[in-house]
Structure 1
Amino acid sequence: MSAGDQLFALQRRERIMDEVREHGSVNVSDVAARLGVSELTIRRDINALAQQGLVTRVHGGATLRSSVETGLAPGLAGHDPAVTKYTIGMVVPSLDYYWPPIVNGARAQAAQLRARLILRASTYDVRDNRRQTESLLNIPGMHGLIVAPDTSGDAGLEMLRWLDSLPMPVVLAERRIRSAAGVHGPESVVTDHAAGTAEAVRHLHASGHERIGLLTQSEYPTGRYVRRGWRSALTSLGLPTDVVQVDGIRFDAPGREREMDDVIERCRRTGTTAVIVLPDPQAIALEQHCLDRGIRVPDDLAIVAYDDDVARFGDPAITAVRPPKQFVGREAVNLLIARLEAGSNRPAHRVKLSPELHVRDSSMRAGVDAVETTSKNEAEESA
């Protein structure tokens, strides 16, 4: 490799590291397009950075190096006592769907604010959430916690009260603090899922749909707010509510063809011409099944997904509500450090962030000019 080539490689890798620090992660194809080089070149750069211990390779890109990686002492990854001001613990219920962008956002913001973030993965079980949280409490020098336990039911109320009793600030990420718990200390940052769903309903109505259904996967905590926003929007627009509404769909499980056929038949029987589907993979499965059955999307059935992790890969690409996941993580860190800086004199903050609707081909009927809107959204996604 010539001296010039080495210089260009260093510049690319510095650019990659700048983006990882700012956003928590990078995507190979996006970086390659911006820098005008091949994806193979960017993969080689990421491999080199990973070998230096600066990033972690993941499918399709890289993230900041994690404190839970093999070979790293717990909580010590990237820790420099000379520059670290705070140590923050974070417990999330999953490290695959939905949560990685939140973790990346929190990690990037913590790095900017001279904080060390120690991550622990849990499950959606409240007892496991508490065990993982207790493990962080036992780490010397811990200043505060970001957690995401299930807050529903009696167990959820008990968890909220326990968090309120801890001797350090606590911020809940994508979890609401129920008034029935009677707690005042914990803070929270959540996506306004009801508002996002209501925007999806209004979009479908503006596209000519009067009968708009809802399909949700039951174990998603997001579901209750999606249902609330959907029903509220139907009512405010004066639209009929005797449409398809199914909670507990599993279009990725055995027997899914029969289940999707049943949904399609119920749409036909009730005159439902559009559906909102939580989450994305279920929406893609339904879209593919419709096309296999000769049902045109969006002409016969329009589809809007909720989450927007993989909706763009549908054919046609699926319109989706996108929660601001990275900003949830960033704001959780901001809230926690603001409390640490200001002390108990700062009132508890309960923050709601607005999601965005990204309009694509799956929701626009023929005759509705979707070209400008779709192009605008796709341009934003590639920026």
Structure 2
Amino acid sequence: MPPASDSPAFGLSRRERILDELRRIGSVRVADLAAQFGVSDLTIRRDIGHLADRGLLTRVHGGATLRSSLDTTVPAAASGIRFRVGMVVPSLSYYWPHVIIGARAAATELGVQLVLRGASYAVADQRRQIDALAAAGDVHGLIVAPETSGPDGRALLYRLETLATPVVLVERRAPTALALPSLECITTDHVFGGALAADHLAARGHRRVGIITSSGSPTSLPLRHGWNRAVADLGLECVVDVDAALDDPSSTSRESAIVSILNQCRATGTTALLIHNDPQAVMLEQYAIDHGWSIPGDLAIIAYDDEVASSGTPPITALSPPKQHIGRLAVEMMLERLAGGPDLPVRRTSVLPVLHPRESTAAP
């Protein structure tokens, strides 16, 4: 007798919930759904296959995305599709679903078939997915979000520079020192975001502030550049400066890091923090409140990414990169490159994040 989770009634309910999740965030991962529903990865893959066979979603590596009108087995020429473009992102669960939604919307409007592959933040995995798309020989261009730091990141950028198809980097920028003349990019101006956060806190009377960034995140370095420059220009004191991993799966390590940060704030009279990313900001806020801190009375908080910041208690002020617009602009940039050819000047474009003030920031 099959387990209850595999019965027809449970299967139907689970598939409906998968579709609800797709409508909410645009893409899902097999591993996340299996953990959420308490079933095996194989069960979720079967569910996704069942829904894909009925045209309700699109299977991608490691998960699924919303169905697009361009998801078809009809040859591109017969379906009116002008170009096929591969897209490789490092995550299908945080930040990137919104970028994907924007890219898919633009692709649908512009006659581009988007071939999506989810990788990870590991360079080897990114390169494997990029090489698979390039080797297939049926995509006209690539939109990718590769690692750009360290020897492996630089090697991957050089690899992208040598591809026969054009490449647009999304939320990544090739370092100027590498002198890679053909890689185009569309990014959020995180430097401006850091400056905007400092200005917001200064305008509310905070003078002693701090910054917490996420270890290994490519956003952290430009965010810090903007923050440090603005803190100096505004005459603020940044007395708490931590690069942490508060989302570490070890609850003991996470709690120890949060306690250390709050102790530093208390000892130095720090009244406000910029925290990248949202989960780190929410966890620190929750811990602080549970241990007698008043937010924003004792400590004001700004988050960076605005994925879950509005769900904090109180809701957290956040800087929001225009994620869907980034995806749309990446597709538009690729289409212009494919239509304009090599004579079109190479573009490296940035757009500004938006500040959403909420209850977590106020004058001390």
TM-score range, shorter chain: 0.7 to 0.9
1:81-100 to structure 2, matched below 5 A, reads 81-100=78-97
Q: Is the 2:76–2:82 contact (alpha carbons within 8 Å) kept by the matching residues of 1?
A: no
Give the superposition deviation at 1:143: 0.4
Equivalent residue in structure 1 for 2:154, among 138, 157, 173: 157
1:250 Cα offset (Å) = 1.6
2:234 aligned residue: 237
Give 1:174 deviation, angstroms.
Answer: 0.6
Structure 1 runs not aligned, ≥5 long: 1-24, 29-48, 367-383
1:363 partner SS: coil
Q: What letter corresponds to residue 352 of structure 2 in structure 1?
A: S
Number of the residue aligned with 2:203: 206
- Shift of residue 232, structure 1, vs aligned partner: 0.9
Q: Decide whether aligned partners of structure 1 residues 232 and 27 sit closer, same or farther in structure 2, where only a CA change above 3 A counts.
A: same
1:174-213 to structure 2, matched below 5 A, reads 174-213=171-210
CA distance in 2, matches of 1:114, 1:204: 44
CA deviation map 1:225-270 (0-9, x unaligned):
11111111101112123x1111023255321223212111100111
Amino acid of the structure 2 residue aligned with 1:123: S
Q: Which residue number in structure 2 is paired with residue 115 of structure 1?
A: 112
CA drift of 1:182 comes to: 1.7
Match of 1:225 among 190, 203, 222: 222
Matched, 1:270 2:268: yes
Contact 1:86/1:116, CA 8 A, preserved across alignment: yes
* Distance in 2 separating the partners of 1:298 and 1:225: 26
Whole-Å Cα distance in 1 between the matches of residues 137 and 55 of structure 2? 25
| Structure 2 counterparts to residues 252-291 of structure 1, below 5 A | 252=248, 253-255=250-252, 256-291=254-289
2:318 maps to which residue? 320
Distance 1:102 1:77, change over 3 A: farther
Cα deviations across residues 163-200 of structure 1 (Å, max 9, x unaligned)? 11111110000111112222111100000011012111
Q: Tell me the alpha carbon deviations over residues 109-144 of structure 1, each in whole angstroms, 9 at most, x when there is no partner.
A: 111110100011111122221111111012243100
Match runs of 1:299-314 below 5 Å:
299-314=297-312
Please name the residue that 1:3 is paired with. Answer: none
Structure 1 residues 257 and 130, CA gap change in structure 2 (3 angstroms)? closer
Give the percent of matched residue pairs that are identical in Structure 1 and Structure 2.
46
Would you say the 8 A contact 1:89–1:142 is kept in 2? yes
Structure 2 residue 245 is matched with structure 1 residue 249: yes
CA distance in 1: counterparts of 2:245 and 2:202, whole angstroms? 24
Once residues 63 and 80 of structure 1 are traced to their aligned partners in structure 2, the CA distance between those partners, rounded to angstroms, is 24
User: Scaled by the length of structure 2, what TM-score is found?
Assistant: 0.80
Instruction: Classify 1:330/1:249 alpha carbon distance in 2 versus 1 (closer, same or farther; 3 Å).
Output: same
Q: Which residue of 1 aligns with 2:10?
A: none
Matches of 2:75 and 2:96, distance apart in 1: 21
Q: Rate the CA distance shift 1:140–1:360 in 2: closer, same or farther, 3 A.
A: same
Secondary structure at 1:213 match in 2: strand
Q: Distance in 2 between the 1:78 and 1:292 partners?
A: 58
CA contact (8 A) 1:66 1:77 kept: no
- Code of the aligned partner of 2:243: D
In structure 2, which of residues 321, 332, 354 is the aligned counterpart of residue 356 of structure 1? Answer: 354
Label 1:298 to 1:123 Cα distance change in 2 as closer, same or farther (>3 A).
Answer: same
CA apart distance, 1:54? 4.6
Structure 2 residues without counterparts, runs of 5 or longer:
1-21, 26-50
In the alignment, the residues of structure 1 paired with residue 97 and residue 271 of structure 2 have an alpha-carbon distance, to the nearest angstrom, of 34
Give, as a single letter, the amino acid of the residue that structure 1 aligns with 2:143: I
The secondary structure found in structure 2 opposite 1:216 is strand
Contact 1:26 1:63 in 2 (8 A): no
Which residue of 2 is the match for residue 296 of structure 1?
A: 294
Does 1:339 pair with 2:337? Answer: yes
TM-score of the two chains, using structure 1 as the length reference:
0.76
- 8 Å Cα contact 2:85/2:113 also seen in 1: yes
RMSD over aligned CA atoms reads: 2.4
Task: Supply the AA of the counterpart residue of 2:80.
Answer: V
1:118–1:51 distance in 2 versus 1, CA, 3 Å:
closer
Tell me by how many angstroms 1:27 deviates.
4.2
Q: Output the amino acid matched with 2:130.
A: T
Structure 2: how far apart are the matches of 1:112 and 1:234?
A: 43
2:206–2:363 CA contact under 8 A, matched in 1: no
2:158·2:180 contact (CA, 8 Å) conserved in 1? yes
